[in-house]
Structures are given as structure tokens and as C-alpha cells.
Amino acid sequence: GESVGLHLPTLSVQEGDNSIINCAYSNSASDYFIWYKQESGKGPQFIIDIRSNMDKRQGQRVTVLLNKTVKHLSLQIAATQPGDSAVYFCAENQGAQKLVFGQGTRLTINP
Amino acid sequence: GAVVSQHPSRVICKSGTSVKIECRSLDFQATTMFWYRQFPKQSLMLMATSNEGSKATYEQGVEKDKFLINHASLTLSTLTVTSAHPEDSSFYICSARIGTAASEAFFGQGTRLTVV
């Protein structure tokens, strides 16, 4: 079946550097995407979202880019901080307002 | 912001027993609640969708008789894992949705179930 997946399972960056987390999706009909942050032992926390009629959206220190041509989604985190260490999931709205989650990327911020 | 509370946060039960997990929306009424299961180092997998006052809709491969869902009010949904086995050990997460948009779903803190 169709699914949302992530290119890299782990990512380590130095504190203060920028990080980019990628996600590939296969359902071309998906019209809405969300990035979540999940800390150990906790539920997902909403970071930022983007609709398919946009290709970029910015938040505080985060930017999401959407490339519908290649079905690719990315999350950029600027000036990373230790508190950014977590697992990041992209999620795709696959009809009936159901969210399908990608496999996740573990981001580690090194001091 | 909207708060979703799960209880308990951790539970250990013996094989063959049943355990109930509660999901409450504390400051809003949830039209729909979702239950997910997450195995270690894996993603969240949707188990079922429940609407207040109606039967839950289960995802393919999820046994409805094993994972009983009750959504008796707009602020409470429960998941009961019946006759639990060690392979049911997992992290169970609920989300509650205010309206109809995916963006309006808020997640609980999860419940770690260990079956021994």
C-alpha cells in the first residue's frame, strides 16, 4: 500500500548548526502534511504543517518545504539546540482526515 | 492549547488479563478520537478511529475483539486490551480531534504497556 517514509533513520548535528530532515511520500493525492516531534516516552507534538498548494512554510526556527513533483517533504531546523533532540515524523493526510505517519528520523544534537 | 490526557502512563499486567487505557480531552470536546500503537523504534500505526456514540472503525489487521474501544462521551475514549499477551506490549497513543481537519488533532502522552 502507499506509505510515507523517511530517507534517514538517524541524524547527528552540532549544536548551533542547521538540520534537514527528509521525507518521501507516495500518495500523490495527499493534500496536507504535518511534521511532529516525539520525545522519548511521550506523544507526538505538532511542529508545523503545509498544504499541497504551498511549497514552503516557515515557523519559528523551522521551515517545511514541499516538492510535489518528486513527492518530497523536508523539515529544516535552524540553529539547533539540545532540546531539539528527538524523533521527527512526517505525517500525511490520506483521506477521511486520517494521518499516516512516516518511519521517523532520530535527531541528535551534539554539544 | 488543547490538552489530551492518557491514563495510565505506564502499566504492567500479567499475560491473559485485560487492561484499560483512558484518553481524555481536558479542555475541549472531541468529535473523533484515534488510537495508535507504536513499537520500539518504529512509527505510529493507526489502530482505530472512534466517534462518540458509535462503533469504532478498525484498521485492517487490528482485531476488534481484542482491542475494545468505547467512546461514551465527547471527552473520553477507552481502549481495552483483552487477554493481553507479551506481543501486545507496546506504546499506545491516542489523539483527539476538535473538528474535522487533521490539523485539529492533539495527542496524548502515551501509555507504555508491558505484558509479563
Q: Exposed (0-12), middle (13-18) or buried (19+): which is A99, by Cβ within 10 Å?
A: buried
B77 has a pLDDT exceeding 70: yes
Asked if B49 is an interface residue toward chain A (Cβ–Cβ < 8 A), one would say yes
A26 has a pLDDT exceeding 90: no
In DSSP notation, A17-51 reads S-EEEEEEE--TT--EEEEEEE-TTS--EEEEEEE
Cβ–Cβ < 8 Å for A20, A76: yes
Q: Determine the average pLDDT of the residues in B78-90.
A: 97
pLDDT of the residue at A96? 64
Please count the other Cβ atoms lying within 10 Å of the Cβ belonging to residue A34: 22
Contact B103/A42, CB-based, under 8 Å? no
Residues of B in contact with A89 (CB under 8 A): 43-44
Contact A34/B102, CB-based, under 8 Å? yes
Residues of B in contact with A101 (CB under 8 A): 43-45
Cβ–Cβ < 8 Å for B6, B23: yes
Q: What is the pLDDT of residues B7-43, one digit of tens each?
A: 999 999 999 999 999 999 999 998 899 999 999 888 9
Q: What is the pLDDT of residues A46-104, one digit of tens each?
A: 999 999 999 999 999 999 999 999 999 999 999 999 999 999 999 998 766 678 898 89
Confidence of residue A2 (pLDDT cuts 50, 70, 90): very low
Cβ–Cβ < 8 Å for B62, B48: yes
Residues of A in contact with B95 (CB under 8 A): 43
| 3-class DSSP assignment, residue A84 | helix
Q: Which of B40, B58, B41, B60 is nearest to B49 (CA)?
A: B58
